[in-house]
Structure formats: structure tokens, C-alpha cells
Amino acid sequence: MLDAFEARLADLFADRLVGVPDLLAPQRGLPAAAPDSGILPVLRVTGVSAAPLLGDDAPQLRRLPGGLGLRTVLELRGVVAMDLVPAAAITRDAWLRALDALLVAFQAGDVRSGAAFADGSDQGFALRGFRFSDAAQQEDAPGRLRATFAFEGDFWPVRPEEEGPAIAAIPARLVSLPPGVPDDLVARAGGPDLLIPVALDLRALGAGPPRVVARLRGATPPGSLPGDPAGAPPGFTGFPVDAEGIARIVFRPPATLAAPAHAGIQVALAGAGRSTVPLAEIVVRVLP
């Protein structure tokens, strides 16, 4: 993130200002004393800030070298200080010429847009802008000149992608929707079970045998589904699919009922360790 940005800034400074008379290679920390000769550039990030946006905590999809990745992204703006620390023998003219070269180099369009900072790797940042702010002599260090630049961009922690076992095959099951479900289903309280045939067009590609599950909607449904709950998702009960692709859902009406009601039944396709796939919604009118 910021450390990588500061390091990249130092590399960019060295590349863009190579050959400038008296200008030494940049460093990222203030020296204990002035150099013996030449002008020492010192580059530092001196502050950052972010707008306190609410709801921006979710990782964002970033285009990274080699593909896409999720990253926790901080939208930051900040300030970079570039100090020019001269040796005692450096004249004021040489000092100002170094400043001129610095300002011209960092006025280039690709620097101002932030594109020059990209190097093809995941550095943990992507700049949207880099601009010169001001330059002035340091009151606490006579002879030193500081140029400041403002920057803005996205910053995120660099980390290796999580790795898992290679995917050798993906079992799949194709279901033609909607399934065949009878209409106008009616059951009577105290009466026999209602057999509801659900016709499915199932085509398996390396998947196991199909399993249809169902559950009653609502907190107090009028009736029950006497299927096989073993291995079914919570709240569901299972029903086998015969060789003709028909699952027969069994609805058992209540023993008594004070007034007519409707029982809603959700039918889904289930698989071991997988989420259910909704297939149909069935409504049974239950009479007293």
C-alpha cells in the first residue's frame, strides 16, 4: 500500500531525473546531516486522509496481474513531500535548477494521471491523480527546499491469492423448467393423503441420483408432508424420482380444520453438500 507507493515514487524520481547535474539518487528518510556533495532528494508520504463513507466495507473486485481478485480497498488522498537537501558547496542557482527539473518531470501527463506509477504488478495501489501543490524553503532547516505534491487513488493490501485443490471435473444436472405440476389441487381435512405428481426432465452430467425435496410454506401450515427427511436440508423432506422422471409429493391434510385454507408447497432439487435449486411452487386448497 503506502510503503509500496513511496518506493515506486522513489524509483520513478530516479528514472525521470537521471542525469540532472548535482542531483543524487533519492532516499526515503531524512538524513542525519547534509550530503558531502550534490543535492540529496528525500521523498516521504507525510499524510493521508479518507472520506468516511458508510457501507464501503465489502471487498471490491480489482483487475490484478493474471486475473481478478477481491481486495479491501481504501480510497485515499494524501501529500508527498520532496525535500532537496544541498551540500554546503551547492550554489543557489544549482539548487533552483534541480527544482526546475523536478517540477518539469512530475508535470508529465502520465505522472499527473497516475499511469506512470503502474509497473504491471500488484503493488497495492492505483493512482487517479498526482499534482504539484507548492514549494518553499524550510524554516527549521535553512537551505533546504520542500516541494509538496497531492495524490489520490485506491489502496489495498497485497496478499497471495488463496489456493485450493485443482478442479478436475464439475458434475452438473440440467433441469428443464417449469416442471409439470397439476392445477386445482384440493384436499379435505380428515381425508386421505393427496398424491401430487411432479414431472421432471432431468439430465445428469456426472452427478449422482436426483433427489427432490419439498417443504410447507408458513409458520402453521394446514397439513404435513410425510416424506423422508434423512439427508434433506433443514425444513425439507425428500421424495424419490422414479424411472419416468416423476416425483410424487405426498400431502397429508389435517385431521380437522375450522375454515378453508391454502397450503403452499415449495419443491426443490437437492444434492449432497449443495444448495437447493427451486423447481416449483404448489398450492393445495384444503377444505374443512
Residue 208 Cα distances to 37, 154, 263, 288, angstroms: 78, 46, 31, 42
Please give the biggest Cα pair distance in the chain: 108
Closest CA to 22 of 115, 97, 74: 97
d(C-alpha 255, C-alpha 272), whole Å: 34
Q: How far apart are CA 204 and CA 198, in angstroms?
A: 18
- Model pLDDT, residue 29: 85
Res 80: pLDDT: 96
**3 state SS of 205:** strand
DSSP reduced 3-state for 161: coil
Tell me, what's the pLDDT at 205?
A: 45
Helical spans, DSSP H, in 57-214:
92-105, 109-113
The overall pTM is greater than 0.75: no
Give the 3-state secondary structure of residue 267. Answer: strand
The pLDDT of residue 161 is 59
Q: Which domains does the chain have, with CATH numbers?
A: 2-155 (3.30.2000.10), 172-287 (2.60.40.10)
pLDDT of residue 219: 81
The pLDDT of residue 231 is: 82
Instruction: From residue 158, give the alpha-carbon distance in Å to each of 12, 49, 98, 279.
Output: 20, 20, 34, 42
Strand 172-180 with 145-155, pairing: unpaired
Could you tell me if 189 and 288 are in contact, meaning their C-beta atoms sit under 8 angstroms apart?
yes
What sign results for the dihedral spanned by CA atoms 217, 221, 225, 229?
positive
Please give the average pLDDT of every successive group of 10 residues along the chain, which has 288 residues.
93 91 90 89 93 64 69 89 92 90 94 92 91 89 87 85 63 64 90 91 58 88 90 88 86 93 89 73 92
Please state, in angstroms and as integers, the Cα–Cα distance from residue 125 to each residue in 6, 115, 117, 155, following that order: 11, 11, 9, 4
